[in-house]
Amino acid sequence: MNSFRYTDSFTLESGFAFPAIDIAYTTYGTLNADKSNVVWICHALTANSDAADWWNGVVGNDHVIDPGKYFIVCANILGSCYGTTGPLSIDPLTQQPYYGNFPLITIRDMVNAHILLRKHLGIEKIFLLMGGSMGGYQAMEWCVMENNAIENLLLLATSASESAWGIATHTAQRLSIEADGTWNRPSPHAAAKGLKAARAIGMLTYRNYGIMVQQQTDADVEKTDNFKASSYINYQGQKLVDRFNAYTYWQLTKSMDSHHLGRGRGGNLEAVLKNFTQRTLIIGISSDILCPLIEQRFLAQHIPAATMIEIDSDYGHDGFMVESKIISQHLAQWLAH
C-alpha cells in the first residue's frame, strides 16, 4: 500500500475544507509507454485498496485483470479507515481524531480525491474503470465528472441513484450504531456492539432467503436455541468489528445515501446517463435484493453503448464478489470484442 498526501486545501461539497488529505492506494503491474493500460478499481463499503486480496479471482496474476498486462490502481475511499483521511484521522485543529466530528462525505467528494490521485500518478486516460455496489457509484460519478478520461466501464450490482430501500436499510444500520451506549465516545472502539448489529442488518440484504435457508438451516430439528443461522450472523458481525470502525461505517452509509447522478444536474437520471460515452458492461445478480436487476436494466436502457449481463446466482448482492469465475468469463469476452 502507498500513500499520497495532498497538501493543498481540499473542499467538500458541504463547504468544509481539509487543510490536507491522505489517500491510501495500491498499484499492481507497470504503466506502459503510452499509458494506455490503466485499470482503476473503485471499492465498495468496507473494502480497502488491496483489490487483489478482496477480489481474488478477478484481479491478480493469471486472472482477467492481470498485472502482467495492466497497470491496476485501487484507492481507499475518502472517509474510510484503511489509510485515507477518515474519522480516525487526526484533526489538525484539535490534534485528536475526528471521530464523530468528521464532516459528511459524498460520493462526489470521493471521486474528487480519486482525480487528485490520478493526476499525481500521471494518468491521463483510464482504459477500464470498474466497480461494484458503492464502487459502481464512484465509477459512474467519475464518468460524469471526467467523461473524456474514461474509455471503458464495468458496473456490477449498482444503480444510478441510491434507492429508498437502500436509504432505509442504512438508516436502520445507523440507528443500531446510535443505540449503542458507547456511541460518540472519543474512542476507535466506540459503538462496537452497534456496529455488529448494523452488520447483521446488512447481511440480510447482502444475501437473501434462499441462500440463508440453503446454507444455514440446522440439521438437528430438536434444537430450541443456538441455531446455525444465529451463529453465522454473530460471526459476520464480529468479523467486521475486528477490522472496521463504527464512525467510519456510519459516515460511509451516509455517503451512499447521497448518491444520485442527477443531483445538481437537473434531476433527470436518463438525461445524465445518455451522455455516457464509455463502452459499458453492466452485470446484475438475479437474486440481489439490495440492488436488484431493475436498477441495472435501467442503466442498460439509458447508457448508449451498454451491454447487460444477468448472472443467475443464489448469493444475492454478494454475488458480485462471490461469482468471480463467471464475472471474469463475461468480462474477458467483452474486452476481447
Of 50, 109, 180, 288, which is the active-site residue?
Answer: 288
Other Cβ atoms less than 10 A from the Cβ of 101: the count is: 14
Of 109, 255, 317, 318, which is the active-site residue?
Answer: 317
Of 49, 80, 89, 133, which is the active-site residue?
Answer: 133
Active site residue 189: no
What 8-state DSSP symbol labels residue 64? S
In whole angstroms, give the CA distance from residue 147 to residue 287.
32
Task: Print burial letters for 220-254: b (CB count within 10 Å at least 16), e (below 16).
Answer: eeeeeeeeeeeebbeebbeebbeebbbbbbbbbbb
In whole angstroms, give the CA distance from residue 162 to residue 199.
19
Active site residue 80: no
Active site residue 317: yes
| Sign of torsion over alpha carbons 123, 136, 171, 24 | negative
Q: Which residues contact 96 (CB under 8 A, 6 or more apart)?
A: 90, 186
Residues facing 71 on adjacent strands: 38
DSSP per position, 103-125: PP--HHHHHHHHHHHHHHTT---
Residue among 111, 131, 155 nearest 303 (CA): 155
**How long, in residues, is the chain?**
337
In whole angstroms, give the CA distance from residue 268 to residue 249.
29
Distance of CA 185 to the CA centre of its chain: 27
Helix 107-120 vs helix 246-257: crossing angle, to nearest 10: 100
Give the catalytic positions in this structure.
133, 288, 317
